[in-house]
Amino acid sequence: MQLVLEKRTERSNTIALVSPLIAIGLTIVTMTILFAILGKNPFLALQAYFIAPLTDSYSLQEIAVKATPLVMIAIGLSLCYLANAWNIGAEGQFLIGAVAGSWIAVKTQGTDAGAWVLPAMLVLAAVAGALYALIPAICKVKFGASEILTSLMLVYVADLFLDYLVRGPWRDPHGFNFPTTAEFDPVATVPLLIEGGRLHLGSIIALLVVAAAAILLGRTIKGFEIRVVGAAPRAARFGGFNANQLIILTFAVSGALAGLAGIIEVAGPVGHLQPGISPGYGFTAIIVAFLGRLNPLGILIAGLFLALTFIGGEQAQIAMKIPLDVTKVFQGILLFYVLACDSLILYRFKLVVPNRQVTRGAG
Amino acid sequence: MQAHQRMLDPTPNGLHSGESPLLKTVGLTKRYGDFLANDSIDIDVWPKEIHALLGENGAGKSTLVKAIYGLIQPSAGEIRWQGEPIVLSGPSEARSRGIGMVFQHFSLFDNLTVAENVALGLDGKESFKDMSARLEQVSRTYGLPLDPGREVWQLSVGERQRIEIVRALMQNPRFLILDEPTAVLTPQEADQLFVVLERLKTEGRAILYISHKLEEVKRLCDTATILRGGKKIQTCNPRQETAASLARMMVGGEIREVKAAAGRQTTIPRLVVNDLSLAPDEAHGVRLEHISFELKGGEILGIAGVAGNGQDELFAALSGERPSKDPGTIVIEGIAAGHLSITKRRKLGAAFVPEERLGHGTAPRMKLSENALLTGHAASGMVNHGFIDTAATLKTVDKATETFDVRKAKRDPEAASLSGGNLQKFIVGREILRNPAVLVVSQPTWGVDAGAAAVIRQALLDLAAAGAAVLVTSQDLDELTEIADRIAVMFHGRLSAPLAASEATREKLGLLMGGSSLEPKEAAHAVGA
């Protein structure tokens, strides 16, 4: 007996829907074993991770707040990945967006600047994120440089640039030497949806982004172009679509969305610019994009799920002293299983009895 | 198991083993999932016999020979070699028993020399020098001239095939399988190959010859086994059959006859190519040199030639996948289009069908409606203000399905799930439904079953009759003589002057395909470049 992968004649839509669930199931099994090895009660640990955060309003709002940047970034990344453009540097574009938007907040600090401040911050952050993403895109198109490497390396440039600003020119003079800007003025802050709550306007923007992406990919010729360039490059060229133009476009859009997510995070939940504004949103969003099958609605669900792992990880750390890094392990294992399960969409498992025996039996 | 220990007689002379066939399959069956690629096939191949294996694409010919050559294991049934049942562990065991095979697709390394390629294919214990000497000797003995020191990329397709044949012969096979060997040869090269095969036969070897060219089989083969849908239909003497009766057995019914409309009028020139030259965009690609022709409405121009002589490059230049700098080199409907993109050329009324169905003509994993949009977005009203009109794309699928008899499991399946013939009918239909003024089509019936091929050829004739200009590139001379009004030949990136179809004999076309000129003065030594 032998287990082989056999190619399906047509992609299985059922599996396309079920495969992320299988991946989550396998991840949970693996984590159970891992918790047991760490000497923690797996049942309680899983409860802290996945059940506890769903039981109170504060945690539920916090999940939505964490999901907001994840979903926005992942939507942009999914456009890149569908078009076969591998933007790994969303984390950097997120940080640059945060920096660019914060520039307006810092410069208008204490002045009586009006309601234009926040919209201007959002626009500038998106533009900056897009321009930052265009660096690897243009290097790819003009010189053939691997966008995977260049976009990733630019993450560290952005990270250190932010670090320099908050330790140097933008440091809050009354901040006891902490590397942070002063708290943003109210006009430079993303408004809350519920007074005294955590949920803010950014979550609404994220939902609009999801809807726009769904329309773009499902209904427009541009969306078709993105999908066909990724799925069959030669056929796309035959169709008259220019792959290089799409690399530029999708990088710019995903950079803009990451930059927007960056300023929303800083001007919303955080309230000021400081190092460590992102617990790796730009990287976790890669997992969100694939777990969501590069589909806008799927990304929304996957974003909420991964946000849950962030909150659950914190709860597990508090309640059971499980290290926070276990959350990253969890996310890594999840991506691994997601990619593995994806092969089931085009292939299926089959048990094969070696032919020799059959031949002998018949002969 | 005993068969393993039997020593083989290395000389081909002791082959007459009395009454038993050299190779016999009994109830050979190969199952892929629910699909029976070979359904209980019995064939006998005798020494001193050239045995044809006839059938359409998908009839099961390749599966059968792969089983005989040890590449796949049969699901049931057995193979008997000189009367004894054998189980082959793989091709190397098949070779050591004396079964050789020459594949349709060559497995050669372009940047290695002939001798190096041969050495890589042998299970070699001899030194490279001895091997080279033997290579020269074998190639001289059988009249298959090869220079062992030349690198493969410099060789023509015919010469590359010679390497494969010599490589197989150096193992001194008693049984040689050839998979559609003449598909890539000029008629003259094919004649030379037949001489070699006749000689191998008189030496007492057996040859299993896969083909779907009926005239060739009637001329060369002593026996023919016809397969259809994985089953053996009959074994017969092809010389006592007519081409029509063999075709009936292959297809399982009459093939629709392709008819050109009477009294077709040619109109204005719709596609003009003026002195088009284009450097190749990849290493070992073909440079197009000074190509000129004029194609009028109502006319079908055929381009013949051995594959790899610049046909792909010409298609890319005509379609606009590789635009040229000089607008005037290509004129579509009176407008200089050499610099235009493929979308703009489509808007001028041009349509294109590339050779590769999957991955070039269609996105394999996308639905037919999306593949209709792939070329229809330019000028077929499928897009409104950037939004896709899904109903319009589905309508194209339905119309193509109805008009060209595309058979599929559901209304809008993925392109990859269709059979080759049905997908090709869809692709040709998709383009013809746009009512193009100019249609450029490459290998329209390559690997397509006879029924679908007839539908496609008829569609091309009807399109020309309706006033369009049609350019057909094909390696199948029968196809070109059947539908084209004029035929030109491509060789080393150059295009010959077109011949009227009535004057384009196989002989003349063959000379042009081999690089000779038809002018009597130069004809003596104009070969090669």
Round to whole Å and give the CA distance between B234 and A174: 97
Q: Which residues of chain A neighbour B343 with C-beta distances below 8 Å?
A: 240
Q: Is the pLDDT score of A363 beyond 70? A: no
Q: Is B416 on the interface with A (CB under 8 A)?
A: yes
Radius of gyration of chain B (CA): 25
**C-alpha closest to that of B76 among B24, B121, B49, B36:** B36
Which chain B residue is nearest to residue A350, measuring alpha carbons? B33
d(CA B469, CA B474): 16
Chain A: residues touching B (Cβ < 8 Å): 6, 9-11, 219-222, 224, 227-228, 231-232, 234-240, 346, 354-356, 358-359, 362-363
Q: List all residues 6 or more positions away from A239 whose beta carbon is below 8 Å from its beta carbon.
A: A228, B342, B374, B375, B377
Per-chain mean pLDDT for chain A? 90
DSSP lists the bridge partners of residue B352 as: B440
Tokens at residue B117, please?
């390629």
- Chain A partners within 8 Å of B366 (Cβ): 227-228, 231-232
Of residues B85, B342, B386, nearest to A220 (C-beta): B386
CA–CA min distance A41, chain B (Å): 45
Which residues from A are below 8 Å from B370, CB to CB?
224, 228
> Does A179 map to a domain?
yes
pLDDT the model gives residue B516: 82
What's the pLDDT score for residue B216? 87
pLDDT of residue B104: 78
Q: Give chain B's end-to-end CA distance (angstroms, integer).
A: 54
Pairs across A and B, CB distance < 8 A: 95
DSSP B519: S
Secondary structure (3-state) at B127:
coil
Instruction: Tell me how far apart the alpha carbons of residues B103 and B274 are, in angstroms, rounded to a whole number.
Output: 39
Find, in chain A, the residue whose alpha carbon is nearest to that of B343: A240
A75 falls within a domain: yes
Residue B70 — left, alpha, or beta (φ > 0 → left; ψ -120 to 50 → alpha)? left
For residue B196, how many other CB atoms are within 10 A of its CB? Answer: 15
How far apart are the CA of A222 and the nearest CA of chain B, in angstroms? 7
Contact of A290 with A335, CB cutoff 8 Å: yes
| Cβ-based neighbour number of residue A361 at 10 Å | 8
How far apart CA B330 and CA A70 sit, in angstroms, is 51
A354 domain-assigned: no
Domains identified in chain A, total number: 1
User: Exposure string (b/e) for A80-96, b if CB count within 10 Å is 16 or more?
Assistant: bbbbbbbbbbbbbbbbb
- Read off the pLDDT of residues A136-183 as tens digits, 9 standing for 90 and up: 999 999 999 999 999 999 999 999 999 999 998 999 888 888 899 999
Structure token pair of residue A332: 């890594």
Strands B469-473 and B300-304: parallel
**How many angstroms separate the CA atoms of B158 and B306, rounded?**
9
What DSSP string runs through B2-59?
HHHHPPP--SGGGG--TTS-SEEEEEEEEEETTEEEEEEEEEEE-TT-EEEEE--TTS
Terminal CA-CA length for chain A = 20
Length of chain B: 529
Q: Do A235 and B413 touch (CB under 8 A)?
A: no
Q: Are B46 and B207 in contact (CB under 8 A)?
A: no
User: Could A232 and B356 be called an inter-chain contact, meaning their C-beta atoms sit closer than 8 Å?
Assistant: no
- Kindly determine whether residue A236 and residue B363, on different chains, have CB atoms separated by under 8 Å: yes
pLDDT digits (tens, 9 = 90+) for A34-84: 999 988 898 988 888 888 889 888 889 999 999 999 999 999 999 999 999
What is the pLDDT at residue B18? Answer: 53
As given in the structure block, the two tokens for residue A246 are 């799409």
Mutation to test the A interface, candidates B366, B367, B368, B419, most A Cβ within 10 Å: B366
At residue B461, the pLDDT reads 94
Is residue A44 one of the residues assigned to a domain?
Answer: no
* Cβ-based contacts of B77 with chain A (< 8 Å): 359, 362-363
**Does the residue A334 lie in any domain?**
no
The per-residue pLDDT for B15 is 41
Report pLDDT digits (tens) over A174-228. Answer: 888 889 999 999 999 999 998 888 899 999 999 999 999 999 999 999 999 999 9
Determine, yes or no, domain membership for A17: no
Give the contacts of A10 (CB within 8 A, at least 6 positions apart): B413, B414, B416, B417
Q: Do B73 and A359 touch (CB under 8 A)?
A: yes
User: How does DSSP assign B253-317, residue by residue?
Assistant: SPPPPP-PPTTPPP-SEEEEEEEEEE--SSTTPPPEEEEEEEEETT-EEEEE--TTSSHHHHHHH
Two tokens, residue B95: 């070779």
Residue B299, CA distances (Å) to A73, B4, B295, B349, B466 in order: 55, 62, 7, 16, 10
pLDDT at B126: 80
- What 8-state DSSP symbol labels residue B234? E
Q: Which two tokens stand for residue B460?
A: 């091309």
The residues facing B414 across adjacent strands are: B367
- What is the domain range of residue A192? 60-296
pLDDT tens profile A296-353: 999 999 999 999 988 998 888 888 888 888 888 888 898 899 888 888 877 878 776 6
Judged against a pLDDT cut of 80, whether residue A5 lies above it is answered with no
Mutate which: A13, A234, A238, vs B, most B CBs within 10 A: A238
Pairing status of strand B206-211 against strand B50-54: parallel
* B83 Cβ contact list (under 8 Å, min separation 6): B17, B20, B24
**Can you give the pLDDT at residue B289?**
93
Q: Are A281 and A261 in contact (CB under 8 A)?
A: yes
Beta bridge partners of A322: none
Report the side by side order of strands in the sheet with B330-332: B288-296, B269-278, B330-332, B335-336
Contact between B366 and A231 using a beta-carbon 8 Å cutoff? yes
Is there a domain that residue A339 lies in? no
Q: Which domains does chain B have, with CATH numbers?
A: 1-98+176-254 (3.40.50.300), 106-171 (no CATH), 269-522 (3.40.50.300)
Cβ-defined contact of B386 to A10 (cutoff 8 Å): no
Contacts of B353 (CB under 8 A, 6+ apart): B361, B427, B428, B431, B439, B440, B441, B442, B444
| pLDDT for the residue numbered B40 | 92
Contact between residue B444 and residue B353 where contact means Cβ atoms under 8 Å apart: yes
Mean pLDDT (whole number) for A18-31: 90
Is residue A185 a part of any domain in this protein? Answer: yes
Q: Which pLDDT does position B180 carry in this prediction? A: 85
Q: Measured between beta carbons, which residues in chain A are less than 8 angstroms from residue B374? A: 228, 235-236, 238-239
Cβ contact B260:B470 at 8 Å: no
Q: What is the pLDDT along chain B (529 residues), one digit of tens a residue?
A: 344 433 333 333 334 445 678 999 999 999 887 778 899 999 999 999 999 998 887 788 888 999 999 988 999 999 999 989 999 988 889 988 999 999 877 888 888 999 998 888 776 678 888 888 889 888 888 888 888 888 888 887 788 888 988 988 888 899 999 988 887 788 888 888 999 999 999 999 999 999 878 888 999 999 999 998 889 999 999 999 888 888 888 888 776 777 776 667 778 899 999 999 999 887 778 899 999 999 999 999 999 988 888 999 999 999 999 998 899 999 999 999 999 999 999 999 999 999 989 899 999 999 999 999 999 998 778 999 999 999 999 999 999 999 998 888 889 999 988 888 889 999 999 999 999 999 999 999 887 777 888 889 999 999 999 999 999 999 888 889 999 999 999 998 999 999 998 888 888 998 898 888 776 544 444 444 3
Which chain B residue shows the shortest CA-CA distance from A10?
B417
CA distance A56 to B341: 59
Instruction: Answer whether A234 sits within 8 Å of B375, measured CB to CB.
Output: no
Q: Which residues pair with B223 in a beta bridge?
A: B51
Q: What is the pLDDT of residues A83-125, one digit of tens each?
A: 999 999 999 999 999 999 999 999 998 888 889 999 999 999 9
Interface probe for A, chosen from B32, B387, B427 (most Cβ of A below 10 Å), is B387
Helix pair A325-346, A281-291: axis angle to 10 deg? 30
H or E element, residue A235: helix A233-238
Determine the Cα angle at B374 with ends B368 and B376, to 5°: 100
Q: How far is B360 from chain A (nearest CA, A)?
A: 4
Q: For residue B414, which residues of chain A lie inside 8 Å, CB to CB?
A: 10-11
